[in-house]
Amino acid sequence: MKVVIPAAGVGKRLYPHTHTKPKPMVFVAGKPIIGHILDRLIDVQAEEVVVVVGYMKDKTISYIDANYSSCFGKISYITQEEPLGLGHSIYVTKDVVGDSPVMIALGDMIFKAGYREFLERHEKNGECSGSIGVKTVDMPQYYGIVYLDDEGTITKLEEKPERTTSNLGIAGIYIIDDTSLLFESLDKLISGGAKKEGEYQLTDALQIMVDAGATLKTFPVHDWYDCGRADTLLEANRVLLTEKGENDVKSTNSVIVQPVAVDPSVKLINSVIGPNVSIADNTVIKNSIIEDCIIGTGAEIVNMNLRSGIIGDDVNLTGKSKSLNIGDSSTIEF
């Protein structure tokens, strides 16, 4: 089996952080998003991992080569020259994937379960063209949606429908055995110019497969962390830090409230850090209270009280001390 990770997107929903780095390199729970994904893929023992890169691709490639080159048999990079959607990003891997079975793992989703577990769930579906991870969702209009028959076979797929009778959302993990039909369907989609909002959707190619007689099944995905938006990124940070447990942190006259992920190069002075705080390398925090935050590389934070924030690389935040003289029975709101 080969694994394809589409990681070429600009990540507009994470602006301004993706002005200076690609979405897969956004920091969460102690490492970039792509690092968490690759950690969970090691047990799959894939023949090859194919990473689709594009926007600021050198940063993604450099990180993966420096940290994961020895973890997989082979890592390849395919450039998606234009941001033409998920379907197109899979299509450009055609020559590398060939007719091997393929697992597609989206580059902005982190799952609590390992990908090996998903592979086992797919194998339990028996002989079929492929399986798609699904989860019941509250707002199906924001997801790719699948419809099933009484035997659990997919009869229809629809991308972000305005109205639907199904609430089974596609969870960002696909395992396809019939890759020849997958790429034939993608070719038909793209050659026909069937774009939606300027992009070729993988969901539409899978529908072409179903129309051609493919048997697609599903498997449940219970816990996923969408790292594509600022609010969901902070939620992912909280959950992932809790899973990791306590970490040793060096500090000077500071209080550490676990869980946190703090790079050893970070300097913490007279501060309260945590819970749910990730701090990247070469950052300095002094006389501050930091809770529920993600802080990037090379930042300097002094005299600040921060909660539920995402601070980028090389940011300098300095607060000014305020003096208060407050009498009895007073109430002050800021």
- Residue 195's pLDDT is 85
**Residue 225: what are its φ and ψ, rounded to 5°?**
-125, 110
- The pTM score is 0.88
CB neighbours of residue 245 within 10 Å: 8
SS3 79: strand
Tally of residues, the chain: 334
Q: Could you tell me if residue 304 is left (phi over 0), alpha (psi between -120 and 50 degrees) or otherwise beta?
A: beta
* CA dist., res. 133 & res. 121, Å (int): 9
CATH of domain 2-230: 3.90.550.10
Q: Could you tell me if residue 260 is left (phi over 0), alpha (psi between -120 and 50 degrees) or otherwise beta?
A: beta
- Residue 160's pLDDT is 87
- Residue 130's pLDDT is 96
Residue 119: name the closest of 206, 225, 219 by CA. 219
Domains in the chain: boundaries: 2-230, 246-318
Each residue's pLDDT tens digit in the chain (334 positions)? 999 999 998 888 888 888 889 999 999 999 999 999 999 999 999 999 999 999 999 999 999 999 999 999 899 999 999 989 999 999 999 999 999 999 999 988 888 778 999 999 999 999 999 999 999 888 888 888 999 999 999 999 998 888 888 989 998 899 999 999 999 999 999 999 888 888 999 999 999 999 999 999 999 998 878 788 887 899 999 999 998 878 889 888 999 999 999 999 999 999 999 999 999 999 999 999 999 999 999 999 999 999 998 998 998 888 875 555 655 555 555 5
Given CATH 2.160.10.10, say whether it is the number of domain 246-318.
Answer: yes
* CA dist., res. 278 & res. 100, Å (int): 38
SS3 41: helix
SS (HEC) of 173-202 = EEEECCHHHHHHHHHHHHHCCCCECCECCH
Please answer whether residues 288 and 305 qualify as being in contact, where contact means their C-beta atoms are separated by less than 8 angstroms.
yes
- Residue 114's pLDDT is 80
Q: In this structure, which amino acid lies at residue 237?
A: N
